[in-house]
Amino acid sequence: MTLPQLNIDRHDRGRRALITLAGEVGPATAPQVRTALERCLGDGITIIDVDLTTVGLCDSSGLRVFLDASRHAETQAFGAAFDRGSAASWSGTADGRRGTASSACSG
């Protein structure tokens, strides 16, 4: 059995980070996504964009990671938004504005 593969790249610009995911987000790889998002928050990043354009599969475990991150961001006065358009993103702002959540992930 071949394990799903997920590549995670992070590029920071000031207090903003772009996380680019390529591959599958499922039970075996969702913890890697969670870790990447938590590291951003731990590093003081206030806006996180997650590019999902090259994600072939995102199941309920992947969706759970994004929902948990969204909830965490809201408790920290961040907002969250998901979209699988050309610049899919999860982002938070430090000014307390709240965002909305939607996702192309399915489970």
Mean pLDDT, each 10-residue run in order, the chain (107 residues): 87 91 95 94 86 92 90 67 47 41 40
CATH number at residue 70: 3.30.750.24
| pLDDT value of position 45 | 86
- Its pTM stands at 0.74
Give the pLDDT score at 83: 47
For residue 10, give both structure tokens: 């992070």
Q: Would you say residue 88 lies in a domain?
A: no
69 occurs within a structural domain? yes
Q: What is the pLDDT of residue 6?
A: 96
pLDDT in tens, 19-31: 999 999 999 999 9
Distance, in Å, from the CA atom of 95 to the CA atom of 9, rounded to the nearest integer, reads: 26
Q: What is the pLDDT of residue 77?
A: 60
Quick one: three-class SS letters along 52-71? EEEEEEECHHHHHHHHHHHH
Number of domains in the chain: 1
Q: Quote the domain boundaries for residue 52.
A: 6-75
